[in-house]
Amino acid sequence: MRRARAATAALLLLLTGCSTGPSLENQGAVTAPPGDSHHLTVGSAGFTESDLLAQLYSQLLEQAGYRTSLLTVANRELYEPALESGQIDVVPEYAATFADWLNAKTHGADAEPVGSPDLNATMKALRRLATPRGLTVLDPGRAVDQNAFAVSASYAREHGLKTLSDLGASGLRVRLAAGDECVQRPYCEPGLKKTYGIDITAVDPKGVGTTQAKRAVQSGQDQMVLTTTTDATLSDFGLVLLTDDKHLQNADYVVPVVNRSRAGGAGVTKALGKLNAVLTTADLASMNQQVDSWRRLAEDVARTYLEDKGLLR
């Protein structure tokens, strides 16, 4: 899902910041010593959650005395090289997804994936791939945006379901609303069958977490939907997540990735590390909802959150 969202367009847009950021076309390679830049460009991949994380990063860095600009680059094929060159200094990423992306870039599209449900192993692989490219991957916190499966609350109550193991043990026949690639992806239909013993009778190709897919489960046409852990609209459709208790999904924890020569110093690490103590998956889902459903600006939602947590004066 995230790869699809991040590949929607190659349009570069300057967002509102405290100063005007550079264009990607006009900057060359960075040769400055580690962590010396006072003006940092924070990148976003152009979807709600990425915009929110970029705003959180930017405001924390401003609080720490840096000048920041925000830049949206909705294509990883563009923003990752820009991060390497220092045209972008900081970007929010997802550990397993970014590890697999860098691995494919380094070793080819057919390379064996290195992202896994094991966060420590995933981070080790990610840092091994990022370091030669001049990138530093900061520590992850508690927030994770990974694939997840939801059923209607009434269905869960009727059958006593809280986990995916519960669903497998129930013997219920399940029609799954998901992307059409679900029939082949190991985290989806094959994984649900192998890891949990869930009887998937068919995959209804309505997309990942789409309104159409959720309505199909709400109406009973389908019994389960593939979505994400930070989906902010599940309650609007009367849906609840089933816990991935056997850890089928990869460790897509939120991690800041920085250009080492421009933002690899202790100041940036300390400023962004403050999020690790407070930001949770539920917090991200709530902020996503405020932007997507309540139509609040990401900048305002981020500021209110940081103030409520005592991280902004």
CA distance 250 to 253: 9
Cα(141)–Cα(79) distance, integer angstroms: 23
Q: Which CATH class is domain 2-144+254-308?
A: alpha beta
Q: Is the pLDDT of residue 290 over 90?
A: yes
Name the pTM for this structure: 0.83
pLDDT at 186: 87
pLDDT value at position 34? Answer: 58
> Cβ(127)–Cβ(140) under 8 Å?
no
Instruction: State the burial class of residue 292 (Cβ atoms within 10 Å of its Cβ: 0-12, 13-18, 19+).
Output: middle
Q: Residue 107's pLDDT is what?
A: 96
pLDDT(80) > 90: yes
In the structure encoding, which two tokens stand for residue 289, read together? Answer: 């909802």
User: What pLDDT, on a 0 to 100 scale, did the predictor assign at position 313?
Assistant: 85
Q: Please determine whether the domains at 2-144+254-308 and 147-242 fall in the same fold group of CATH.
A: yes
Q: Domain ranges in the chain? A: 2-144+254-308, 147-242
Residue with tokens 């090289």: 81
Nearest to 58 by CA among 309, 310, 308, 298: 298
Express each pLDDT in 103-131 by its tens digit: 999 999 899 999 999 999 999 999 999 99
Beta-carbon contacts of 257 under 8 Å, excluding residues fewer than 6 positions away, are: 83, 90, 91, 92, 93, 98, 130, 135, 136, 137, 138
Q: Is the pLDDT of residue 82 over 60?
A: yes
Residues 127-183: tens digit of each pLDDT? 999 999 999 999 999 999 999 999 999 999 999 999 999 999 999 999 999 999 899
pLDDT at residue 312, rounded to an integer:
95
Pairing mode, if any, of strands 67-73 and 254-259?
unpaired
Each residue's pLDDT tens digit, 15-44: 333 333 344 433 444 444 556 689 999 999
**pLDDT tens-digit profile of 244-278?**
999 999 999 999 999 999 999 999 999 999 999 99
Most confidently modeled range among 17-26, 49-58, 227-236: 49-58
CATH architecture, range 147-242: 3-Layer(aba) Sandwich (3.40)
pLDDT of residue 10 exceeding 80, the answer is no
Report pLDDT for 13: 38
